[in-house]
C-alpha cells in the first residue's frame, strides 16, 4: 500500500453476466456495508448490457459501477460502440480503458487508449488505464520498457489522482493462475509510479496503481500487502459475490479501521 492512498478493489466481469447475474451485483452491493467501505473503494465493471440495472442496484451502497471500454468520440456513426458520455449518462462512474484484451483483440494502440481515457475524463468518469507486458516481452527482458511506453502513450497529461487509476496487469498472468513474485510486482509498481511522475507530475504520488492477474481470495492478502500496490483489478474471481467480497474484506487486516466506525 502507498501511504495516504485510498485502496480500491475493482472487478471486471469481461463478457460474462446475464440477467441472472444481477443477484451477484446486489449481493456485492449489500456486502459492502460497514466501516471498511469508509476506507476502501469497490468498483464493479459488468458488461454494458447490465450497466443501467447495475447502477440502480448499487445506488444506495458504497459500490461504484464502471464500464469495460468506451469509444473515444461522444456520439456518431460508430455501430456497436458505446461512448463515455453514454456510460456517464447511466450513472456509472468508472471505465476501464486499454485492457490487454482490447489492445490485442481490437488492435488498440497507446494513442487510441489515450484518446479513450481523455474522452472518459472529459465527461467526468474515472479512467482505469491498464498496462502490462506479454509473456514474450517479459522473456525478452522488455517489461519496464513496455510499461514506460504505455504510461507515456496512454495516460493523459492532465490526469490526476482523482480521475485516473492505473492497473498493472501482466498479460501472461491474466486468467492463467500464474502471478509474478511479490518482488516483481513491487518493482513494476515502483517503476510505474516513477514514470507517472514524469507524465503527470506531483499527482502521481497519490494515483492508485492496482495489480491485476489471477487475483483470488487465497492470494489477495499477499498481493494487497505488497508495497506500492493500492488495490486489485479482479477478473474471474469477481464473478462470484462471495469471492469478490472475500478479496475486498482482506483489507480488514491491512487498513486501520479505528476511526471508521
Ligand atoms: O481485468 C482483469 C484482469 O484481466 C484479470 O483477470 P483474472 O483475474 O481473471 O486473471
Residue 132, ligand 1, Cβ within 6 A: no
211: helix, coil or strand? strand
User: What is the Å distance from ligand 1's center to 100 Cα?
Assistant: 10
Q: Is residue 146 part of a domain?
A: yes
Q: Which of 140, 227, 136 is nearest to 188 (CA)?
A: 227
Q: Which residue has the cell 498472468?
A: 173
Q: Is residue 259 part of a domain?
A: no
Q: Is residue 2 part of a domain?
A: no
pLDDT at 113: 98
Q: Would you call 198 a catalytic residue per the annotation?
A: no
Residue 235, ligand 1, Cβ within 6 A: yes
Q: Is residue 249 part of a domain?
A: yes
Residue 233, ligand 1, Cβ within 6 A: yes
Q: Would you call 137 a catalytic residue per the annotation?
A: no
Question: How far is C-alpha 48 from the chain's CA centre?
Answer: 16
Distance between CA atoms of residues 204 and 179, nearest Å: 25
Residue 170, ligand 1, Cβ within 6 A: no
pLDDT at 3: 87
Q: Is residue 258 part of a domain?
A: no
Count other C-beta atoms under 10 Å from residue 13's C-beta.
21
Residues 197-251: tens digit of each pLDDT: 999 999 999 999 999 999 999 999 999 999 999 999 999 999 999 999 999 999 9
Q: Is residue 125 part of a domain?
A: yes
Closest ligand 1 atom, CA of 237?
8
Please check if 172 is assigned to a binding site: no
pLDDT at 261: 61
| pTM (predicted TM-score) | 0.98
Q: Which of 257, 145, 253, 240 is nearest to 192 (CA)?
A: 145
Q: Is residue 260 part of a domain?
A: no
Please check if 13 is assigned to a binding site: yes
User: What is the Å distance from ligand 1's center to 260 Cα?
Assistant: 30
Count other C-beta atoms under 10 Å from residue 12's C-beta.
26
Q: Which of 43, 50, 53 is nearest to 11 (CA)?
A: 43
The radius of gyration computed from the CA coordinates of the chain, to the nearest angstrom, equals 17
Q: Per the structure block, which three cell numbers stand in for 16?
A: 460474462
211: domain CATH number is: 3.20.20.70
Domain hosting residue 47, numbered range: 8-253
Q: Which of 259, 253, 248 is nearest to 64 (CA)?
A: 248
pLDDT at 85: 98
Q: Is residue 1 part of a domain?
A: no
Residue 12, ligand 1, Cβ within 6 A: yes
Q: Per the structure block, which three cell numbers stand in for 254?
A: 491491512
Which regions of the chain are under pLDDT 70? 261
Please check if 16 is assigned to a binding site: no
Q: Please count the structural domains in the chain.
A: 1
Amino acid at each position: 500500500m502507498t501511504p495516504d492512498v485510498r485502496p480500491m478493489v475493482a472487478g471486471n466481469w469481461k463478457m460474462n453476466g446475464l440477467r441472472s447475474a444481477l443477484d451477484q451485483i446486489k449481493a456485492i452491493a449489500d456486502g459492502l456495508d460497514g466501516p471498511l467501505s469508509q476506507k476502501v473503494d469497490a468498483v464493479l465493471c459488468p458488461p454494458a448490457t447490465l450497466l443501467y440495472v447495475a447502477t440502480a442496484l448499487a445506488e444506495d451502497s458504497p459500490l461504484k459501477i464502471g464500464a469495460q471500454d468506451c469509444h473515444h468520440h461522444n456520439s456518431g456513426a460508430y455501430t456497436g460502440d458505446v461512448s463515455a458520455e453514454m456510460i456517464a449518462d447511466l450513472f456509472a462512474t468508472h471505465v476501464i480503458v486499454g485492457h490487454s484484451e482490447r489492445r490485442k483483440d481490437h488492435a488498440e494502440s497507446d494513442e487510441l487508449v489515450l484518446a479513450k481515457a481523455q474522452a472518459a475524463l472529459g465527461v467526468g468518469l474515472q479512467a482505469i488505464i491498464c498496462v502490462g507486458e506479454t509473456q514474450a516481452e517479459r522473456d525478452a527482458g522488455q517489461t519496464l520498457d513496455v510499461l514506460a511506453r504505455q504510461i507515456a502513450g496512454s495516460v493523459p497529461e492532465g490526469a490526476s489522482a482523482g480521475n485516473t487509476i492505473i492497473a498493472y496487469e501482466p498479460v501472461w498472468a491474466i486468467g492463467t493462475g500464474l502471478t509474478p513474485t511479490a518482488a516483481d510486482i513491487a518493482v513494476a509498481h515502483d517503476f510505474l509510479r516513477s514514470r507517472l511522475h514524469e507524465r503527470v507530475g506531483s499527482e502521481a504520488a497519490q494515483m492508485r496503481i492496482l495489480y491485476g492477474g489471477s487475483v483470488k481470495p487465497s492470494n489477495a492478502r499477499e498481493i494487497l500487502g505488497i508495497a506500492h500496490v493500492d488495490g486489485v483489478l479482479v477478473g474471474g474471481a469477481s464473478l462470484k459475490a462471495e469471492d469478490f467480497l472475500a478479496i475486498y474484506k482482506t483489507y480488514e487486516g491491512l487498513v486501520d479501521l479505528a476511526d471508521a466506525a
